[in-house]
Amino acid sequence: MSTQRLANAVRLEFAPDLLVHTNLSGAAFTSDWLWVAGDEACGVDRLRRLDTLGAEALRYGEAQSFPLADLLDLPGAADEEADLEGMALADGYLWVVGSHGLKRKGVKDGRSAADNAKRLSKVSLDANRRLLACLPVEQGADGAPCLIREAADGRRALRLKGDADDNELTELLAKDPHFGPFLALPGKDNGLDIEGLAVNGRRLLLGLRGPVLRGWAALLEIAVEARGGQLHLAPLDEEGLLLRKHFLQLDGLGIRDLHFCGDDLHVLAGPTMVLDGDIRVFRWPDAKSALAASREPVTFTADLAETVALPHGRGTNRAEAICALPPGLAPNGAAWLVLYDAPGADRREGDYTVFGDLLSQDAATTGADT
């Protein structure tokens, strides 16, 4: 397989001592800086824009890790993964969300059938997975953006109130007729699995990879407020509604990431569970206006426009992060950055360099020769 880079590849250089290496699940830009999350870490990395080495359109490196344990009082151990899946920048904060889901042990080669059967019966919850937090971004002495516990202007790192077992969101969902039954299922078994995050003021949109209900993907809308040194759920309206559910027709796919671009919401969609299959980007035109005007506790939207179809591999190249490029950064008309979990040989160079793709607004242009 050729690994020659095309002109719209984005080179990301990591190192052995960093929290994030290859399996990327979230991305956000601060000018010339790129924040990334990985689903096997308990922190985020910041990469700086560098001069390109060859045909790549963009190159990022000189990465620095920001462990969540340095910023928050976590429910679990500092090195226990948070399974971060969503990321968004808004109003001076970097927002992050964990999958919130359970996990099931997998089958291993070389084990007996009895041993593997026992493994498949074991379900657990990492204490840091049920994390929803906002982290202040402040310029450091060297001019680089940094994540800190408390900013000079009083902004503080906060997480949604909860412990190693639950937080206010999962306690609310446990009573919900659509999602309550899925809290006991691992994310990769079509159980609860948060993978997308978009922020609009104090309102948050959480995109679910699972469950997908009779082909309908779910978008959860909540509001949060800071109180007593923590985040708490807040009413969405004068009636005290704490959760609004939006079901989206994505042709049976679950939500992998979310990104507001102007008034539109862009939805990265892919298979739920551990399936290989279509990965597409959908656009919800005027979503901010529609969401602001909605007063119903449940809505259904079936007329989303598909804008991009992405390539995928067998067990590799699963697109999990999408975000718009900052103004003036996009070369050759590109508008979007897409990053991948389980990058294949065509999107890797050695152990610590991976390649993302630049996409145009309307065409499925990829950054690797696949």
What does the DSSP assignment read for 307-360? Answer: EEEE---SSS-EEEEEEEPPTTT-STTEEEEEEEES--GGGEETTTEEEEEEEE
Question: Looking up tokens 């800190």, which residue turns up?
Answer: 148
Q: In this structure, how many other beta carbons lie within 10 angstroms of the beta carbon of residue 166?
A: 18
Burial class (CB in 10 A: 0-12, 13-18, 19+), 124: exposed
Question: Considering the domain 9-360, what is its CATH architecture?
Answer: 6 Propeller (2.120)
The C-alpha atoms of residue 259 and residue 280 are separated, in whole angstroms, by 14
- Tokens at residue 149, please? 């516990």
The C-alpha atoms of residue 34 and residue 90 are separated, in whole angstroms, by 14
pLDDT at position 96 = 97
Q: In this structure, how many other beta carbons lie within 10 angstroms of the beta carbon of residue 341?
A: 20
pLDDT at position 9 = 87
**What is the residue-level pLDDT of the chain in tens, covering all 370 positions?**
233 445 578 999 999 989 998 889 999 999 899 999 988 889 999 999 999 987 788 999 999 999 999 999 999 999 899 999 999 999 999 999 999 999 999 999 999 999 999 999 999 999 999 999 999 999 999 999 999 999 999 999 999 999 999 999 999 999 999 999 999 999 999 999 999 999 999 999 999 999 999 999 999 999 999 999 999 999 999 999 999 999 999 999 999 999 999 999 999 999 998 888 889 999 999 999 999 999 999 999 998 988 888 878 888 888 899 999 988 787 666 688 999 988 888 888 988 999 998 887 654 333 333 3
Dihedral sign (CA 253, 259, 264, 265): positive
pLDDT at position 317 = 85
Spell out the domain ranges in the chain.
9-360
Distances (CA, A) of 266 to 159, 173, 261: 25, 25, 7
Chain-centroid distance of CA 297 in Å reads 24
- SS3 track for 230-299: EEEEECCCCCCCCCEEEEEECCCCEEEEEEEECCEEEEEEECCCCCCCCEEEEEECCHHHHHHHCCCCEE
pLDDT at position 363 = 44
Chain-centroid distance of CA 142 in Å reads 28
pTM of the model: 0.93
pLDDT at position 163 = 95
Are the C-beta atoms of residues 55 and 96 closer than 8 Å to each other? no
pLDDT at position 51 = 93
pLDDT at position 367 = 36
